[in-house]
Homo-oligomer: A and B are copies of this chain.
Amino acid sequence: MPSPIRVTVWHEHRHEKKNPEVAKVYPKGMHEAIASHLRTCSDLAVSTATLDEPEHGLTEKKLAETDVLTWWGHMAHGEVKDEIVARVHQRVLAGMGIIILHSGHFSKIFQKLMGTTCNLKWREEKNEREILWVTRPGHAIVKDIDDHFIIDREEMYGEYFDIPEPMETVLISSFGGGEVFRSGVTFTRGNGKIFYFRPGHETFPTYHNKNVLKVIENAARWAAPSAGPVAKFGHYPLNWMDKK
């Protein structure tokens, strides 16, 4: 039996402390809503880490023991230390998967991986509907998902979403107001796999939605490292290959 995939659910965990509306939807924090679902999967070994822990909970040791990291941040992107961002970046290049959630689009780590601003249009309405359409039906990330699913109330994100051309566009959303958004997109950087997944505004119960949780669960499996080669760099003399 293979070792479980070690998933670390990273969360900013500030909105819940400042906004009673958010605390009501996520009494234990958004990370616990995600983690408690992932814990139901016997092939995943789940832990959490948050901004206000020492080193944001992302010590060298912790990252070395993480196969897939999920990332939700919003109001405190600027407080994430550059040193920790560099550490996470290095781990992604070495093979750790990363799943960027919702407002994490503006996180330092996502911008660093993408090389773009990751900017977009947005709007928060009490009652705007998001429909997510599957545009790569054979993808592991949409296992056991129908050809679309609906979130009754969500924040709108609209194109142009300033990201590089994705490797695969797995989900595209429409919103009540007529905007569209590439809501599920994959990339690779170095040995690491990256999935950006749009839904997850803090005032809505999005991380209690079973389709949303299923996509995150699927993505954790998809983003897990394979034991591919460690890249070799630097000076190599003529015929080094024959001298092994």
Task: Please state if B190 and A161 are interface contacts (CB–CB under 8 Å).
Answer: no
A229 to chain B, nearest CB (A): 4
Residues 180 to 231 of chain A near chain B (Cβ within 8 Å): 180, 182, 187-193, 225-231
Q: A133 within 8 Å of B by Cβ? A: yes
Chain B hits for A174, CB < 8 A: 174-175, 178-180
Residues 50 to 77 of chain A near chain B (Cβ within 8 Å): none
Residues 138 to 158 of chain A near chain B (Cβ within 8 Å): 138-140, 142-148, 150, 156, 158
Binds B, one of A7-15, A16-24, A25-33, A232-240: A232-240
14 example contacts (A-B, Cβ-Cβ < 8 A) are as follows A93-B162, A114-B115, A116-B190, A121-B236, A128-B238, A131-B179, A133-B179, A135-B159, A136-B165, A138-B190, A139-B228, A142-B228, A164-B188, A168-B188
- A182 touching B172 in the complex, CB below 8 Å, given contacts A165-B167, A231-B147, A241-B148: yes
Chain B hits for A225, CB < 8 A: 138
The 8 closest A-B pairs by CB, nearest first: A138-B191, A119-B233, A140-B226, A147-B229, A174-B174, A133-B159, A113-B115, A160-B231
Q: Which residue of B lies closest to A96 (CB)?
A: B138
Task: Please state if A131 and B178 are interface contacts (CB–CB under 8 Å).
Answer: yes
Task: Please state if A177 and B238 are interface contacts (CB–CB under 8 Å).
Answer: yes
A224 to chain B, nearest CB (A): 9
Chain B hits for A179, CB < 8 A: 131, 133, 174, 236
18 further A-B contacts with Cβ under 8 Å, apart from A147-B232, A159-B172, A180-B180, are A93-B162, A115-B189, A121-B234, A122-B236, A123-B238, A129-B178, A137-B230, A143-B227, A145-B229, A156-B236, A162-B231, A162-B233, A164-B164, A164-B189, A173-B180, A174-B175, A176-B238, A178-B241
Q: A95 within 8 Å of B by Cβ? A: yes
Q: A112 within 8 Å of B by Cβ? A: yes
Chain B hits for A129, CB < 8 A: 178
Task: Please state if A228 and B143 are interface contacts (CB–CB under 8 Å).
Answer: yes
Task: Please state if B236 and A137 are interface contacts (CB–CB under 8 Å).
Answer: no
Chain B hits for A93, CB < 8 A: 116-117, 162
In this complex, which of A119, A173, A191, A232 has the most chain B Cβ atoms within 10 angstroms of its Cβ?
Answer: A232
